[in-house]
């Protein structure tokens, strides 16, 4: 048996607003039945959408609905990391492409400890956020907004 991991997706929680109804071209059940407005809305090809459900967008722009409880069990937000940490990950991945060695993430993390770091620098962040760093390395990340 083979095992697969989920790729990051783009999703938005449905709030019932007219803007989201228009954005995702949701269909009013009343319109489908030739009657007046109904509280039930449907996403073409996916079924009924309730407030609180999630609308996911695939790589080809297709949309599908996911119930809130299922979404929370299946997906997690990408980690948010500082820009300098993102640059370290990009460099690390590039080196792995040029010099094929095992343990790229291990090397990136252990170098921080072996070669030392100072409080407040990138190594300090990596050591104190090792789980977030590992998830970002493996799954992807969002760069935190810089504050002025």
pLDDT tens sequence across 106-138: 666 666 666 667 777 788 888 889 899 888 888
Cβ(137)–Cβ(78) under 8 Å? no
pLDDT digits (tens, 9 = 90+) for 91-103: 776 655 554 455 5
What is the secondary structure of 2-48 as a DSSP string?
----PPP-EEEE----HHHHHHTT-EEHHHHHTSS--S-EEETTTEE
Q: Would you call 108 helix, strand, or coil by DSSP?
A: helix
Among candidate residues 139, 77, 78, the one with its CA nearest the CA of residue 105: 139
Sorting pLDDT into bands at 50, 70 and 90, what band is 33? very low
For range 73-91, the mean pLDDT: 89
Cβ-based neighbours of 101, under 8 Å, separated by 6 or more: 107
Domain residues of the chain, as ranges?
A: 10-74, 80-143
- For residue 63, the Cα-to-chain-centroid distance in whole angstroms is 16
Query: Which pTM was predicted?
Result: 0.66
C-alpha span between 84 and 144 (Å, rounded): 10
> Longest C-alpha distance within the chain, in Å?
71
Q: What is the mean pLDDT of the chain?
A: 82
C-alpha span between 69 and 37 (Å, rounded): 27
Among candidate residues 128, 135, 118, 123, the one with its CA nearest the CA of residue 85: 123
Residue of 41 and 8 predicted with greater confidence: 41
């Amino acid at each position: 048996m083979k095992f697969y991991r989920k790729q990051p997706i783009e999703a938005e929680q449905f709030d019932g607003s007219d803007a989201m109804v228009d954005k995702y071209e949701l269909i009013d059940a009343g319109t489908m039945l030739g009657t007046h407005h109904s509280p039930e809305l449907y996403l073409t090809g996916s079924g009924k959408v309730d407030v609180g459900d999630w609308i996911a967008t695939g790589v080809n722009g297709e949309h599908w609905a996911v119930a809130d409880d299922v979404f929370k069990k299946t997906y997690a937000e990408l980690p948010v990391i500082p820009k300098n940490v993102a640059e370290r990950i990009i460099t690390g991945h590039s080196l792995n492409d040029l010099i094929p060695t095992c343990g790229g993430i291990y090397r990136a993390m252990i170098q921080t400890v072996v070669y030392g770091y100072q409080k407040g620098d990138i190594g300090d962040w990596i050591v104190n956020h090792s789980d977030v760093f590992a998830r970002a390395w493996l799954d992807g990340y969002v760069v935190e907004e810089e504050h002025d």
